[in-house]
Structure 1
Amino acid sequence: MPWYDNFFSGLVQEAWKAAQTDEQTELEADFLNDVLALQPGQRVLDVFCGYGRHAIELARLGYSVTGVDISTESILQLQKTAQREKLSIEALAGDFLTVPLASGFQGAYCMGNSFSFFPHDQMAVFLEKIAGSLTPGGYFVADTAMIAESVLPDFQERSWMQIGDITFLMENEYDARASCVTAHLTYLRNGQTEHRTSRHYIYTVAELHRLFQKTGLIVTEQFGNLDGSDFQLGDERLLLIARKSE
């Protein structure tokens, strides 16, 4: 069973939702709308869609969106929103690596820092599935903050933050052999405490270029922000834009 199978529920979900602003979602949806180069009515795949903050915005623009997420709680919420607004969204609950998925998507994206869930062998399978879902020439956007050039120069063993009325504590361990950050997380609110453990696998930008290329996804751009600036050492975020080979 993968670590993320039962991770996304309860205070974790509430803290994640509270941390995302409408402005951030709109900026990211505008970015996706630009770089995916889609036409209204075309099909786009949202990998690890969560409760659908990007899927909803893109569906409002006229795209047909399929979202996949392992959190049944999130998928049910997305289905209700899609039904209420009469949006063209198909929301599928399940592990992306194993859930049956159609092909013929003109674009795909993985936003929200879920891209780093997989060790090398599973990452190859993950990218192969995405590439197999795309039509030739279709674009894929990968968003991650867990990149070697971002994490390792200023690795933090402990941190905390306040998200609304939820206190979020994090203790990190780095395994150099596996290139993996294991985070022990504690969420606190009004006497309620929840503990979780997550694992994020760390890749260099060059490693991702090679993995993408092996699966038929050619990286065309690497941004350090939504403004299109080129990724530099120490940037907190990497946005990779790749095109499926013809």
Structure 2
Amino acid sequence: MQKKENSWFSDEWFWKTYGPIMFDDQRLKNSVYEVERIMELCGIKKNDNVLDCCCGLGRHSLELAQKGCRVSGLDLSQGYLDLAKAEAEKRSLKVDFIHKDARTIDYENQFDAIINMFTSFGYFDDPDEDLELLRKLHRALKPGASLFMEMMGKEILARDFEERTWFEREGIKIMLEYSVDLNWTELCNRWLFYKDDVMTEYSFSHRIFSASEMAAMLWKAGFSTIEIFGSFEKDLYDHNAKNLILIAHKDAD
């Protein structure tokens, strides 16, 4: 028996049923270290206002709150936000989780830092909306503040590309299939979940970016200085890079 879904991005049933198992324990544990590095690299301090744009389960939002930051976590998935709120309550942490499409934000000079993690960029149907979102994030930052982005860069994807991989978690067999489209501008994803003789399939695509493509877009969005690294340890973005990390700074004027 097969159930096929295409509107995965806004499908709350998907996020509540399968979303949480896509994050293993190690990835959740890594969030503690990642937040420590983000705070150091961006100069984030206790009581700073931080926006976690596309926060998902809130794993970075919660750690920032644990460090004493005033955090807003924004995401389109109410299912993820419900899980994030439950975890915040369990840990007695205060985070303002907001159910909102990132394209509709209208902040101005409000945040000391904004983060966008885990390749949570490039999913809109219209490519022009990528640049428009970056412009809105620039506007939302206080003068002198920074945007921290972490993603799978196109260069890393090309180096480590696998057409398919599979694993089993919580009694569910999961196969992930990938292909590249439109001259290396989009990554096509096909996720297959097998449980109790039922297969659920989700297919979607998102744009992929090289370091230079992201830097050019950030410049165009108004950022004055862009730093590029290949890891949270500030390694060079070269053939050994683990992540594409961009820190875009807004002018202090």
Give TM-score, length-normalised by structure 2: 0.86
2:49 counterpart of 1:43:
yes
Structure 1 residue ranges, 4+ long, deviating more than 6 angstroms after superposition: none
2:102 counterpart of 1:92:
no
Query: What residue in structure 2 maps to residue 167 of structure 1?
Result: 173
Identify the range of structure 1 (207-216 vs 116-125) with the bigger mean alpha-carbon deviation: 116-125
2:161 counterpart of 1:155:
yes
Instruction: Give the letter for the 1:131 counterpart.
Output: H
Counterpart pick for 2:141 among 130, 134, 137: 134
Q: Deviations over 1:29-54 (max 9, x none)?
A: 11112112122111000011112111
Structure 1 residues not aligned, in runs of 5+: none
Instruction: Give the letter for the 1:76 counterpart.
Output: D
Structure 2 residues not aligned, in runs of 5+: 1-5
2:229 counterpart of 1:213:
no
* Contact 1:11-1:194 at 8 Å conserved across structures: no
Query: What residue in structure 1 maps to residue 65 of structure 2?
Result: 59
In angstroms, what is the RMSD of aligned CA positions?
Answer: 2.4
Counterpart pick for 1:225 among 231, 236, 239: 231
Identify the range of structure 1 (2-11 vs 225-234) with the bigger mean alpha-carbon deviation: 2-11
Q: How far apart, in 2, do the equivalents of 1:193 and 1:2 lie?
A: 16
Identify the range of structure 1 (22-31 vs 77-86) with the bigger mean alpha-carbon deviation: 77-86
**Secondary structure of the residue that 1:233 maps to in structure 2?**
coil
**Secondary structure of the residue that 1:217 maps to in structure 2?**
coil
2:16 counterpart of 1:6:
no
* Contact 1:11-1:187 at 8 Å conserved across structures: no
Shift of 1:73: 1.1
Instruction: Give the letter for the 1:129 counterpart.
Output: K
Q: How far apart, in 2, do the equivalents of 1:217 and 1:164 lie?
A: 43
* Contact 1:19-1:163 at 8 Å conserved across structures: no
Q: How far apart, in 2, do the equivalents of 1:6 and 1:129 lie?
A: 26
Instruction: Give the letter for the 1:56 counterpart.
Output: L
Instruction: Give the letter for the 2:239 counterpart.
Output: L
Shift of 1:177: 4.5
Counterpart pick for 1:33 among 12, 21, 39: 39
Q: Deviations over 1:90-130 (max 9, x none)?
A: 11012111245464101010112212324631210110111
Counterpart pick for 2:204 among 198, 202, 206: 198
Instruction: Give the letter for the 2:10 counterpart.
Output: D
Count how many residue pairs are aligned between Structure 1 and Structure 2.
245
Matches within 5 A, 1:116-127: 116-118=122-124, 120-127=127-134
